Amino acid sequence: DTGVSQNPRHKITKRGQNVTFRCDPISEHNRLYWYRQTLGQGPEFLTYFQNEAQLEKSRLLSDRFSAERPKGSFSTLEIQRTEQGDSAMYLCASNPEGRTIYNEQFFGPGTRLTVL
């Protein structure tokens, strides 16, 4: 399967712990996006990379959140000192540069985080 993959699929942690999620985009896709989705809501944009450069960050991305894409391939999203309000589905998406006319993003299955 050559779709977007995310690991782990589920993560349960205790409040105050740090967690890290990984996203592997579709190969050749140089744009990568992170979204967060809470129960009953649509996904909310967090940040996006073009290659290794982080080009936009939402104000939802507090200083406890950091995302990296060091080699322009996979990306990690780290949450430090987790809070119960961080419980959500974290979605990753990718698309290739050049598709700037229309915005088809390919989403992974998400990582569901539960903070106890």
Please, which of residues 36-95 interact with another protein by CB under 8 A? 40-45, 48, 55-56, 58, 91, 93
Amino acid at 73: S
Q: State in angstroms the smallest separation of the CB of 97 from another protein.
A: 10
Which tokens is 62 given?
């507090």
CB 7 → another protein: shortest distance, Å? 14
The region, left, alpha or beta by phi > 0 then psi within -120 to 50, assigned to residue 54 is beta
CB nearer another protein, residue 58 or residue 73: 58
> 57: which 2 tokens?
């960050």
Is 32 in contact with 52 (CB distance < 8 Å)? no
* Beta carbon of residue 109, minimum distance to another protein (angstroms, whole number): 6
Backbone angles phi, psi at 87, to 5 degrees: -60, 120
Measured distance CA(39)–CA(48) in Å, rounded = 22
Length in residues, the chain: 116
Stretch that binds another protein, among 14-22, 63-71, 77-85, 98-106 (CB under 8 A): 98-106
Contact region with another protein (CB under 8 A), list: 11-19, 62-70, 75-83, 106-114: 106-114
Interaction site with another protein (CB under 8 A): 4, 31, 33, 35, 40-45, 48, 55-56, 58, 91, 93, 100-110
